[in-house]
Amino acid sequence: MSKLFETTVIRLEALSNSFEFAVRSMSNSVTECMKELHSTMSTLDASIFECQQQVVKLNEPPMLEIMTRALWTVEQEKKDEERRSRNLIISGLELQTGSNNKDVVSSLCENHLTVKPQIAKTRVLGTPESASH
């Protein structure tokens, strides 16, 4: 029975050593993770401070006004470009006296193209060739 007892004690010691090693290893891992977390938190704190400084600069009235004006100008340019992108210039179209330009352009599009445009307005550019001779 003493041999069995001795074997059991040896196994318990081995198990105890193994358990102690595992606990120590996990403790070291947790310590390393905590160090990394602390380092990351310090970096994050510095980044937050930098962002706060930039927000303070952006909220200064001159910068805010300049940015607002620039954004407004960009929006106006986009609207103007979009409006002009829908313009259509037709050259060589003979207009008869007394005819409605909208009707002539609408008829041209419907009869010779596959579209029926909504015409907001028309205007004649330049002078007719017969008037320039």
Angstrom distance (rounded) from CA 23 to CA 80 = 71
108: left (phi over 0), alpha (psi -120 to 50) or beta: alpha
Residue 27 CA to residue 19 CA, distance in Å, equals 12
At residue 131, does pLDDT exceed 60?
no
Q: What is the CA radius of gyration of the chain?
A: 41
Q: Where are the domains of the chain?
A: 1-87, 89-126
What confidence tens digit (pLDDT) does each residue in 5-29 have? 788 888 888 888 888 888 899 999 9
Predicted confidence at residue 77, as pLDDT, reads 95
Q: What is the mean pLDDT of the chain?
A: 84
Taking the C-alpha atoms of residue 23 and residue 19, their distance in angstroms, rounded to an integer, is 6
2 burial via Cβ count (<10 Å: 0-12, 13-18, 19+): exposed
Q: What is the pLDDT of residue 129?
A: 60
